[in-house]
Structure 1
Amino acid sequence: MTAYTESEGQTLRTAVFGAMVLVSTADPGSVDEESYAGIRAMSLLPDDLRAVIAAAPPSLPQGSASDVETGVLAALKDAVGIVDAHDPREVPVFRGAVTEMVRSVAGADGEVAVAEKEMVARIVEALS
């Protein structure tokens, strides 16, 4: 199992949970359905990453909606670097899992709004 520092773990939590929050708030829908969809998709993460992400509550950036988005997108970019530094083979798995999480959140209510599609695209871009 890969050992992550607390700081790295916090960045990973901010990235993963923050990405789901960004999509969920892009076009508010059923919060329960969206939350469950995102949590179910977390099972796609490798065990060590899932354990780090579940180890503590996430901390989202503070400020305006724009500040939160900027902070989460930066955390996503940093998270890819963190995963790459620990195990480059897990980078595509991490990217794929987060992408599936946000797509699941976007489609949880059976419909994907334009604002959700746009947010998913920004998240996928931050992961690349």
Structure 2
Amino acid sequence: MIVDDRLSDDERMTLKTAGFGAVLLVSNADPGLLSMIKESFAASDTIAASSGLVREVLTGGPLPRLPDDPAAAEEVVFPALRRSVEILSERAPDQVDRFRATIVAAAHRVADATEGKSGGEAAMVAKVMAALGVTP
């Protein structure tokens, strides 16, 4: 496997923090143990189905460390989502749309994994999309 070297390790971790953090925020918007398990699989499938540098970054290397507290997680994840778009725009502009599409799809899949989207999940998906610069 050829590793794409357009991103530094810190930049890769920013993208992973953004991606996994977005999924975490949507999942935490309507918590529940069984829901969390189903949502995990839904997010994993979406991320694994991506391709290129986005798939390489999101499926390789260490996992990000995210705060347990939802408010603290938002303070980390939303800036990481915005910064990820900036990083990709500068370093790998051909991957920006793929990254956005992957994260938005994963967020929707998590929200829809159990009994449809709750109001809290829908609101969090909208916040994730806004941070990525995606209009509904």
Matches for 1:1-128 after TM superposition, within 5 Å:
2-3=4-5, 4-29=7-32, 30-62=35-67, 64-128=69-133
State the Cα distance separating 1:43 from its structure 2 match: 3.2
State the Cα distance separating 1:65 from its structure 2 match: 2.0
* CA separation of 1:82 and 1:46: change in aligned 2, threshold 3 A: farther
State the Cα distance separating 1:44 from its structure 2 match: 4.3
Work out whether residues 60 and 72 of structure 1, in 8 Å CA contact, stay in contact via their aligned partners in 2. Answer: no
Matched residue count: 128
State the Cα distance separating 1:37 from its structure 2 match: 0.4
State the Cα distance separating 1:31 from its structure 2 match: 1.3
CA distance in 2, matches of 1:63, 1:23: 14
The C-alpha deviation readout for 1:71-124, integer Å capped at 9, x for no partner, is: 101000011111111221221121111100000000001311000000000000
CA distance in 1, matches of 2:38, 2:69: 25
CA distance in 2, matches of 1:25, 1:63: 10
* CA separation of 1:12 and 1:114: change in aligned 2, threshold 3 A: same
Work out whether residues 111 and 117 of structure 2, in 8 Å CA contact, stay in contact via their aligned partners in 1. Answer: yes
Identity among equivalent pairs (%): 32
TM-score of the pair, normalised by structure 1 = 0.91
CA distance in 1, matches of 2:124, 2:110: 11
Work out whether residues 26 and 121 of structure 2, in 8 Å CA contact, stay in contact via their aligned partners in 1. Answer: yes
Structure 1 unaligned spans of 5+: none
State the Cα distance separating 1:64 from its structure 2 match: 3.5
Moved >3 Å (runs of 4+): 60-64
TM-score of the pair, normalised by structure 2 = 0.86
CA distance in 2, matches of 1:47, 1:82: 16
* CA separation of 1:6 and 1:104: change in aligned 2, threshold 3 A: same
